Structure 1
Amino acid sequence: MPVAKRCKALLQNLISPLTLMSAPEARSAVKVATLVVGLLVLSILPENTYAALVQGLYSQEVPVSGQGYQKRADAMSQALAEVLVKVAGQREVLANRVVKSALAKPEAYIRKFGFRSSSADQETSLNRQQYLQAVFDDQAINRLLRSAGVAIWGQSRPSTLVWLAVESVGQRSIVNASGTLPAVFAESFQGRGLPVLFPLMDFEDAGAISTVDVWGGFTHKLQDASRRYGSESILTGRLSRALSPDALAQNERYDGRLTLIFRGMSQSVAVNGLDAVALTQLAADLVGTTLSRHYAIDASDASGKTLLVVENVASLDDYAALNKYLERITAIRDVSVHRVAGSTIELELVIDGSESQLADALALGRNLRPVAPGVQSDSSATMRYSWSY
């Protein structure tokens, strides 16, 4: 059975029993079920799944207490702020003088907006929550960030694998995708445009890593166990939960430490008495700020033209797919053909940022693989890759 059909069937089997639950319980369970399916997909895909194509970077939904002019304007400003944080990858963007000025006139950046009320199960309530849904003009947002000197992070973003060891009532365990905490992580990370994964903790994971390894933060063990997931970004943590597992989730508090391991470097933040939402927002801030420094592209740091040599472009279909692939990379402004020799094509790129940032962006995908320096037939080529489609 094709992967898509298998996943659809699995998700249906997980969700069918939810019809017997209350609506709030069902919504929470659906999030967990969807996350489980996503992780199961990883287990049957080829290794080296480096990145996800993030959707919805330029749209946002925010709660609003009314549809009057001032309340609508305030909600639009909040939605614009959250979109700018997603596209830039870090909250520091909101302190920028140019951005602050733009937040006072958010309607200039909105393509369309509308309102919705809270879900059908609350229709009888007099206090239904309303939401403003706004879709922003991506080109206008990018122009704003460039004029503010802020780097832009494109849709292709690396997934972060989360290894958490949680101590509760004297027992320690590794959090896997079937728990409630991953659903809260998924929501907070989605709000930042960050793909996030939790381990399956199946037989393979259990043989590769232990609770002691995660609690102790043993980097080599964590990196070895993470290889199957193809994630270069690893978030790990040791957390103590203040209440027993059967306590209400909203009353739980966590203490401990989170550490992001990325490219041989690690950065940590303390967790002091945070609930699940605050914990996951702290984690999203740590991941977003760190990764955006590597992948977000600063237009003011332009390298001009770069020669990209791509082998194994054997047909017009290959060329069309390669062109479409390169169009999605934020660092590339323009592509033109410099020379064609058999199945090798030389492309002249106009890029923003540095060539190392371009190499980082190309490394996120699975279709372009760098050719080893010793194999290059043209030593003058700035960058040389092989196309696989």
Structure 2
Amino acid sequence: MRFTARLLFLCLSLLSLPTFAAALNNLYQVREPVASQQPDERSAGLTRALQTLVLRLTGDQKATQSPALAGYFKDPQQLISQYGYETGPPLALVVDFDQNSVDNALRRAGLPVWGASRPTLLAWWLNESATGSSLVGDNQESAAPLNRAAQRRGLPLLLPLADLNEQGVGTAQNITAAQPDALRAASDKYPADGLLAVDAKEDGGKWQAQWRLWLGDSREQGQVQGDNPDALADAVMLAISQRLAPRFVGAPGSATALNLQVQGANLERYAQLQKLLEPMAAKLVQVKGDTLEYRLNASPEQLRAQLALARLQEAPAEPAASAAPAVDASGQSVPPQPAAPSNVMRFRW
């Protein structure tokens, strides 16, 4: 009874507590650019919107070619709750998909889903052209293509204020440096999980960008190009999404039943865990002091990546029992204790 009451108290506290990783409230909403509001263009736009959503949720370009989803691409309205138009510019078809219907369709197709809790990226984005260079800042007009692309690809994005001090930091030399020491020092005041540095250059009306991403101990980088700032921003965000997704989305067939123990929990941290573990069908089974125990389905790598967003550290496994029998003080043999189950993973704050 005490356990049930404690769970009820924790659940009632959920809505008022913040989480560390950003939870995308509009993960199942897609803004798909269209040329007009004509029926044929609307029909094509709905199909493209579903393709965008599937790629956003799986991070796998091949997922849009799944035979199990072919019927939905022919008739996307099976998965749509509502749609309308956003005049822009650009003109966009705004499509709200039903989360349960989409998730069920993807599961039946054998495709794992990247949940709404995703790493927040702080973007130091420098635009360079013949007229000069400028660091893109929050609330600037030049930030609009970045924000549209980040929403389209399902990436929580932060931009610096780009005041005079930050303009001095966000130079081409610092943004293209192999190590982002100068950028890191200026990023401490922003609540982000990863650091994105982009050097975007315009030449003859075409754009190209060199990007680098630091998340935890890992680094990703690449080059993309686009016909305009919107296309370039979308190419950058798509490339990043596809690099990150394999960390947080288990490969088909890789998920196993795991028991998770987390030490050092409190109410705020419980709320974080609930959101982080949502895509893994996690079930809280026991609370012991500040330790929470869950059962879930995931790969160990997927679980480690997800919990790293809350700065959790993996605890060492309990030592296995010795093969030799123990002996007590009287010289009597004591049966060895059973080894800890191999499917138990332990983390702590």
Query: Which TM-score applies when normalising by structure 1?
Result: 0.65
Q: Which residue of 2 aligns with 1:347?
A: 293
Cα distance in structure 2, aligned partners of 1:167 and 1:87: 32
The answer as to whether partners of 2:316 and 2:346 remain within 8 angstroms in 1 is: no
The answer as to whether partners of 1:64 and 1:75 remain within 8 angstroms in 2 is: no
Question: 1:288 Cα shift?
Answer: 0.9
Q: Which residue of 1 aligns with 2:335?
A: none
Question: 1:134 Cα shift?
Answer: 3.5
Structure 1 position 231 matched with structure 2 position 222: no
Residue 346 and residue 161 in structure 1: after superposition, are their counterparts in 2 closer, same or farther (change >3 A)?
closer
Higher helix fraction: Structure 1 or Structure 2? 1
Cα distance in structure 2, aligned partners of 1:117 and 1:291: 29
The answer as to whether partners of 1:109 and 1:141 remain within 8 angstroms in 2 is: yes
Which of 271, 275, 291 is equivalent to 2:228?
275
Structure 1 position 384 matched with structure 2 position 347: yes
Which of 174, 187, 191 is equivalent to 1:213?
174
Structure 1 position 364 matched with structure 2 position 309: yes
Question: 1:164 Cα shift?
Answer: 2.8
Cα distance in structure 1, aligned partners of 2:36 and 2:132: 43
| AA of the residue aligned to 2:146 | F
Gaps of 5+ in 2: 1-18, 318-338
The answer as to whether partners of 2:86 and 2:93 remain within 8 angstroms in 1 is: no
Which of 102, 105, 111 is equivalent to 1:141?
102
Which of 274, 277, 284 is equivalent to 2:237?
284
Which of 318, 332, 337 is equivalent to 2:285?
337
Q: Secondary structure at the match of 1:301?
A: coil
Deviations 1:70-121 (A, max 9, x none): 65543432232222222223544323333334311223222x22445748xx
| AA of the residue aligned to 1:267 | Q
The answer as to whether partners of 1:174 and 1:214 remain within 8 angstroms in 2 is: no
Cα distance in structure 2, aligned partners of 1:54 and 1:330: 13
Cα distance in structure 2, aligned partners of 1:334 and 1:169: 53
Deviations 1:274-296 (A, max 9, x none): 31011101111111111111112
Identity of aligned residues (%): 22
Deviations 1:309-362 (A, max 9, x none): 33354xxxx39x826842553343141424x44x234423122x2123223222
Q: Secondary structure at the match of 1:229?
A: coil
Q: Give the count of matched residue pairs.
A: 307
Mapping 1:143-182, distance limit 5 Å? 143-169=104-130, 171-182=132-143
Cα distance in structure 1, aligned partners of 2:208 and 2:79: 40
Q: Which residue of 2 aligns with 1:46?
A: none
Structure 1 vs Structure 2 CA RMSD: 3.8
Question: 1:194 Cα shift?
Answer: 1.2
Structure 1 position 258 matched with structure 2 position 221: no
Gaps of 5+ in 1: 1-48, 123-127, 244-251
Structure 1 position 113 matched with structure 2 position 94: no
The answer as to whether partners of 2:220 and 2:243 remain within 8 angstroms in 1 is: no
Q: Secondary structure at the match of 1:153?
A: coil
Q: Secondary structure at the match of 1:382?
A: strand
Residue 65 and residue 240 in structure 1: after superposition, are their counterparts in 2 closer, same or farther (change >3 A)?
closer
Cα distance in structure 1, aligned partners of 2:128 and 2:168: 21
